[in-house]
Amino acid sequence: MWLPLIGIVIGIILGMTLPFNIPTAYSSYMSIAVLAALDSVFGGIRSALENQFEADVFISGFFGNAILAAVLAYIGDRLDVPIYLCAIFVFGYRLFNNFALIRRHFLGILRKKSYLEESTDK
């Protein structure tokens, strides 16, 4: 369960400390790839909370989604078709959906804990 969170923290620390600049020409492709990777991270956290996490599925989805999204954005750019908008919509929807499920999971735990504390106080 903690593996995706540890990965996020390590990624943030490395991103803030290492001097790495992405050329402006590739920034739109990287933004789509990062969005796809974040979708995989939130999906991994959700599946871990549901006790269904599989590391090989997570890793293949993480890199596969990021590469596929960047390649599709590149192809769309070459064809003058804004395919990246579709990727933004789909991955954004999935990201917020996974976040909502994670939030509901933790709220359920808090409600259950609060209910148990109230019932033992009576």
* DSSP per-residue codes, 85-118: HHHHHHHHHHHHHHHHHHHHHHHHHHHHHHHHHH
pLDDT (mean) for 39-64: 89
Cβ-contact 46, 102 below 8 angstroms:
yes
Q: Which two tokens stand for residue 109?
A: 């735990």
Provide the pLDDT for residue 98. Answer: 93
CA–CA gap between residue 98 and residue 49 (Å, rounded): 11
**3-class DSSP assignment, residue 69:** helix
pLDDT averaged over the chain? 86
Provide the pLDDT for residue 121. Answer: 66
In this prediction the pTM is 0.73
Q: Is the pLDDT of residue 99 over 90?
A: yes
Q: Is the pLDDT of residue 122 over 70?
A: no
